[in-house]
Amino acid sequence: MQKPNPHAPLSVDGQHDLRPLIEALNQADPILEKLPRSVQIFCVGGAVRDALMGHTAGDRDFVVVGASVAQMVAAGFTPVGKDFPVFLHPIRHEEFALARTERKTAAGYKGFAFHADPSVSLEEDLMRRDLTVNAIALGRDGQLVDPHGGLKDLHGHVLRHIGAAFSEDPVRLLRLSRFAARWPAFSIAPETLLLCKDIVASGETRALVAERVWQELARGLMEARPSRMIDVLEETGAWSEFSPQMPQASLVMRTQLDRAANASAPLEIRYGLLMRNSGGQRPLPESIFKVPRPCHELAGLLIRSTTSLHDLAECAAPKNANGVTALLEWLMQTDVQRRPERFGLLLDALQITDALPSDRISFLRSVAALFNTPAAHEMIAKAVEHALLLGQSAADGATLGRLSVLHSHPELSSLV
């Protein structure tokens, strides 16, 4: 096994460190040692790219050149790829993939046939990747293999496709939009944008299933500037391809998504803002994306709560007993007692939208906190018990109890 090169390049701009990756490639490994000595192993993709950018490398992906499936299994690797040869290291639990080529066989992101055998070279494997910055490999000797100019594009802050095969996989368009959101300082090469428009024009994006669209969209929403993802999807025509009902994304939505990112808001809030603000006053159809239930629920709450901002403002600033009753009705619609954490997310979203002044947001937080105290629970329980003694329903008693809780708030105590 080759030793790390102490003179390996440390930076695209003099500030990154590849040594952790080189050490990972050269660490003593009883599994890798079972492979033939002619086999070469490289770290590729995002881990190399991130290290070159001075970021902490995430999951490491390795390409194995010169080995067969049988040799990988004999060494102790566990196959994890049904359609292509990816293996899990039994000790390190990292993925090692045989170098492979791919060929388009049908529409959609699953329409590919893969070929992997010991004759496939590293350069052939890198050729099938999406962007030049993702097609840089690092060898055990610390040398970078960069056949497509990824280093130059990292220097120039450019996202550029590798070859015409980029247009064969519609998921790559979604990934490109996500990378644009992650790195706002990066531009997209004009020829890459044109190729993305070709992907849309060919109808390939219609072959994407809702779950796959959501997977990429969710990751893009959680990037540093989500609005850039929307910009790319709209500029290429992909945004309207998700559904015939898809309206034009609004400037308000873009602004609020970026505000949510600056506030490190969770995915539920960002999705809620997307749903509420796309197309101006008209929310997106909820069936377009296959989203997790927490995202779906919060989006619904946000849309319903802001359908009438006048009513919301009156609920958040009661002026009489009827106002307190209206506040209680809204609070019960949000399920504030059983779902206080979700209610907190709703208030965070309302704050981002400027739907309410900050003092009203603070007021509603204090009301929610009041409802979840032992004293409030006892007050509601006694009201229910009293109602039952009088032959009234438990629901009526609970409502009276909750009104009593609200009236115990200093701002509402005089509005009886």
Do 119 and 38 reside in the same domain of the chain? yes
186: domain CATH number is: 1.10.3090.10
Task: Indicate whether 228 belongs to any domain.
Answer: yes
Structural contact between residues 167 and 202, judged by C-beta atoms closer than 8 angstroms: yes
Model pLDDT, residue 13: 45
Provide the domain count of the chain. Answer: 3
Do 201 and 64 reside in the same domain of the chain? no
Structural contact between residues 127 and 172, judged by C-beta atoms closer than 8 angstroms: no
Do 23 and 141 reside in the same domain of the chain? yes
Do 209 and 116 reside in the same domain of the chain? no
Burial class (CB within 10 angstroms; exposed 0-12, middle 13-18, buried 19+) of 173: buried
Task: Indicate whether 355 belongs to any domain.
Answer: no
Model pLDDT, residue 12: 45
Q: String of b and e for 56-76 (b: at least 16 CB within 10 Å)?
A: ebeebbbbbbbbbeebbeebe
Do 120 and 217 reside in the same domain of the chain? no
Do 10 and 124 reside in the same domain of the chain? yes
pLDDT, tens digit, for every residue of 5-40?
Answer: 333 333 444 446 899 999 999 999 999 999 999 999
pLDDT, tens digit, for every residue of 330-366?
Answer: 999 999 999 999 999 999 999 999 999 999 999 999 9
Do 7 and 103 reside in the same domain of the chain? yes
**Structural domain of 56:** 1-156
Residues 6 or more apart whose CB falls under 8 angstroms from that of 15 comprise: 54
The segments of the chain whose pLDDT lies below 70 read 1-16, 81, 83, 103-113, 243-245, 247, 278-287
Model pLDDT, residue 244: 66
Residues 6 or more apart whose CB falls under 8 angstroms from that of 102 comprise: 84, 112, 113, 114, 115, 128, 165
Q: Which amino acid makes up residue 208?
A: L
DSSP state of 117: -
* C-beta atoms surrounding 93 within 10 Å: 8
Do 152 and 111 reside in the same domain of the chain? yes
Main-chain phi, psi angles of 43, to 5 degrees? -90, 135
